[in-house]
Amino acid sequence: MSPCRFCEIINEPKKANEEVVFENEHFIVLLDKYRQTSIGGICLIVPKFELDEYEASEIINLISFIGKKMQEAYSARGIRVWTAINKEAGQSIFHCHIHLVPCSRFMDRLTAMIPGIYDILRRISKLNKSALNSERLFEYAEKIRIQINTN
Amino acid sequence: MSPCRFCEIINEPKKANEEVVFENEHFIVLLDKYRQTSIGGICLIVPKFELDEYEASEIINLISFIGKKMQEAYSARGIRVWTAINKEAGQSIFHCHIHLVPCSRFMDRLTAMIPGIYDILRRISKLNKSALNSERLFEYAEKIRIQINTN
């Protein structure tokens, strides 16, 4: 079994410079490497390890903080926030993560809500298997990092 | 403009006995009156008023608590959790609320993810305009209340 992609990045965040948007003691915020909406990248908020109740509750402020920075970075009023618990709900990477999806039009909400359909279209159209190229990823991440660092 | 449905229930929770699953100082948990999945009702976690950062962070433990009770009540392994910020992301009632959707099969995830499509089908099929009847709502709520009170 290959190691969890999130754990790999948590252990060596510098190797994923084009994806990592923010990091603190308990969480890392990444861009989804495989999906985007019409206005920007999708952020994933990932706890670094099993958190206690008090530590876990910090995620609310982090969702609010990153959501506001995404709104500024992508001129996105709408943000869809979601997570899936267990495969019956659509979880595919079994390391807790929360999706923050910048939304402007209805298709963005579909991308936000049915990642599987987005993936099928991507495969049919034979887009690069590693999806978003690293320049695009870096550009999306940098827009958010600039908002985080300048305010 | 009619008053917000959530505020009406928060002000008089006893009038909505068939919908209210749980209540504490800061939050009320309701069943979605208009939608269900193949295995049970959809819970909405609603802050009663504007919360400060510390109060708001309690929602994480409440999501975890209600999620576990839904899993027990409906034998649902999968739970999809989502919220929309602003209408561009699909928000329709402009009083913050988090959806907890019990999932067993793919259609449940669609119901969870595209409430609009569920609503269109409901309207086309001329189901009762007030959607779930109060017996069904009461039954769904009672299953969760029993789990909350017996553990």
Q: Whole-angstrom Cα distance, residue B10 to residue B8?
A: 6
User: pTM of the predicted model, to two decimals?
Assistant: 0.89
* B89 with A80: Cβ contact below 8 A: yes
Contacting residues for B113 by C-beta, under 8 A, at least 6 apart: A82, A113, A114, B80, B82
**B38 close to A (CB below 8 A):** no
Report pLDDT digits (tens) over A71-81: 999 999 999 99
Q: Least CB-CB distance to A77: which of B53, B86, B109?
A: B86
**A1 close to B (CB below 8 A):** no
- What is the ipTM for the molecules in this complex? 0.88
Contacts A–B by Cβ distance under 8 A: 107
* B109 with A90: Cβ contact below 8 A: yes
Provide the phi-psi class of B56: left if phi over 0, else alpha when psi is between -120 and 50, else beta: alpha
What is the mean pLDDT of the segment spanning B21-45?
Answer: 93
Question: Which residues are bridge partners to A96 per DSSP?
Answer: none
Q: Whole-angstrom Cα distance, residue B104 to residue B76?
A: 6
**B45 close to A (CB below 8 A):** no
Q: Whole-angstrom Cα distance, residue A13 to residue A17?
A: 7
Q: Least CB-CB distance to B82: which of A53, A81, A87?
A: A81
Report pLDDT digits (tens) over A102-148: 999 888 887 766 666 666 666 666 554 546 788 889 999 999 999 99
**Whether residue A13 has pLDDT greater than 50:** yes
**In this predicted structure, what is the pLDDT of residue A128?**
47
Q: How many angstroms away from the CA of A146 is the closest CA of chain B?
A: 22
**Model confidence at A34, in pLDDT bands (50, 70, 90)?**
confident
* A60 with B60: Cβ contact below 8 A: yes
What angle do helix axes B53-74 and A53-74 make, rounded to 10 degrees?
A: 110
DSSP letter string, chain A? -PPPHHHHHHH-GGGGTTTEEEE-SSEEEEEEEEEE-SSSEEEEEEESSPPPHHHHHHHHHHHHHHHHHHHHHHT--EEEEEEEESGGGT--SSS--EEEEEESSHHHHHHHH-HHHHHHHHHHTT--TT-S-HHHHHHHHHHHHHHHHH-
**B96 close to A (CB below 8 A):** no
Q: Whole-angstrom Cα distance, residue A75 to residue A102?
A: 9
Tokens of B124: 């086309």
Asked whether the CA dihedral A41, B114, A92, A48 is positive or negative, the reply is positive
Interface test with B, best of A81, A88, A98 (most B CBs within 10 A): A88
Q: Whole-angstrom Cα distance, residue A116 to residue B47?
A: 32
